[in-house]
């Protein structure tokens, strides 16, 4: 079956660092994506990992371990505008995204 | 605006009616996807096209749902005999068929079935 787990909610303080974990068990794997979604809006792309290791992109980094079925998204220097849902998605073969339920992050001043 | 567009943005209908949604992808993108999202959940895959060919359809999709992409550009998603359980946000996304290319999402059509 297809299973992607991530925490439902997290809170953090402005300026802090937060790590959002994602574990997955899927029948196929062709990469892992992280998307950000503000309430009532479309998901927007943040990062993509297909090989093990860390991908860094400004304040956002994403890590992947394929052997462990594990990824995390790291957000640094948190800003109020980072309050949103963060969606972990596995790209299944040949090409569809299987999403987790999303992690709702609230950033407080 | 060169992003993915969807029409209408909101649709309210009565149970039993048919509805049709339209998606216009980014012009050079050859893949087009439909997802459904309910409150508090991540998007759920429905179907996708490469050019005009429908390559995969979710087993969860009942035969009341049909999608087309007749000329390999815009796509339509039709729901026949709507049910209250069909109430959701219907998201369209597009991409280039290359490894690692992300899917770009449209703003969605919010369907409410009364």
Does the beta-carbon distance from B40 to A50 stay under 8 Å? no
Across the interface, which of B40, B48, B91 has its CB nearest the CB of A42?
B91
Cα–Cα distance, B34 to B67 (Å, whole number): 9
User: Is some CB atom of chain A closer than 8 A to the CB atom of B36?
Assistant: no
pLDDT value of residue B99: 66
Cβ-contact B11, B18 below 8 angstroms? no
Does the beta-carbon distance from A50 to B103 stay under 8 Å? no
Q: What is the mean pLDDT of residues B65-93?
A: 95
Cβ-contact A101, B38 below 8 angstroms? no
- Please report residues of B whose CB lies closer than 8 A to that of A46: none
pLDDT value of residue B61: 81
Cβ-contact B16, B82 below 8 angstroms? yes
Give me the residues of A, 68-107, that contact B with CB < 8 A: 87, 89, 94-102
Q: What is the pLDDT of residues B23-73, one digit of tens each?
A: 999 998 999 999 999 998 999 999 999 999 999 999 878 899 999 999 889
**Half-sphere exposure of residue B59: CA atoms within 13 angstroms, side-chain side:** 1
Q: What is the pLDDT of residues A7-65, one digit of tens each?
A: 999 999 999 999 999 999 998 898 999 999 999 899 999 999 999 999 999 999 999 99
Q: Measure the CA dihedral A3/B46/B7/B54, to 10°.
A: 140
| Least confident interval from A1-5, B57-61, B71-75, B98-102 | B98-102
Instruction: Return the bridge partners of B50, or none.
Output: B31, B53
pLDDT value of residue B97: 79
Instruction: Provide, for chain A, the percentages of residues in helix, strand and coil under a 3-state DSSP scheme, each rounded to the nearest 5.
Output: 5, 60, 40
pLDDT: which is higher, A94 or B25: B25
Cα–Cα distance, A5 to A1 (Å, whole number): 13
Q: What is the mean pLDDT of residues B67-90?
A: 95
- Residue B1: pLDDT band (50, 70, 90) is low
| Sign of the dihedral through C-alpha B104, B38, A49, A45 | positive
To test the contact with chain B by mutation, choose from A35, A42, A44, A84 the residue with the greatest count of B C-beta atoms within 10 A, namely A42
Instruction: Return the bridge partners of B4, or none.
Output: none
pLDDT: which is higher, B24 or B2: B24
The torsion region of residue A94 among left (phi > 0), alpha (psi -120 to 50) and beta comes to alpha
């Amino acid at each position: 079956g297809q299973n992607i787990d991530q925490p439902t909610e997290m809170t953090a303080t402005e300026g802090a660092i937060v790590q959002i974990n994602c574990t997955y068990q899927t029948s196929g794997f062709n990469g892992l994506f992280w998307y950000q979604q503000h309430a009532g809006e479309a998901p927007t792309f943040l990062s993509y990992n297909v090989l093990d290791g860390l991908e860094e992109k400004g304040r956002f980094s994403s890590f992947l371990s394929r052997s462990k079925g594990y990824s995390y998204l790291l957000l640094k220097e948190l800003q109020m505008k980072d309050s949103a849902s963060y969606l972990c998605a596995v790209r299944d073969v040949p090409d569809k995204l299987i999403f987790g339920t999303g992690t709702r992050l609230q950033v407080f001043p | 605006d060169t992003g993915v567009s969807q029409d209408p943005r909101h649709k309210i209908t009565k149970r039993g009616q048919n509805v049709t949604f339209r998606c216009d992808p980014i012009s050079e993108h050859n893949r087009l996807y439909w997802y459904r999202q309910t409150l508090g959940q991540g998007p759920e895959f429905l179907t996708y096209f490469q050019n005009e060919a429908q390559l995969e359809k979710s087993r969860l999709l009942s035969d009341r749902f049909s999608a087309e992409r007749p000329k390999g550009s815009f796509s339509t998603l039709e729901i026949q005999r709507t049910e209250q359980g069909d109430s959701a946000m219907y998201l369209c996304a597009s991409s280039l068929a290359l490894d690692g290319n992300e899917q770009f999402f449209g703003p969605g059509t919010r369907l409410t079935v009364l």
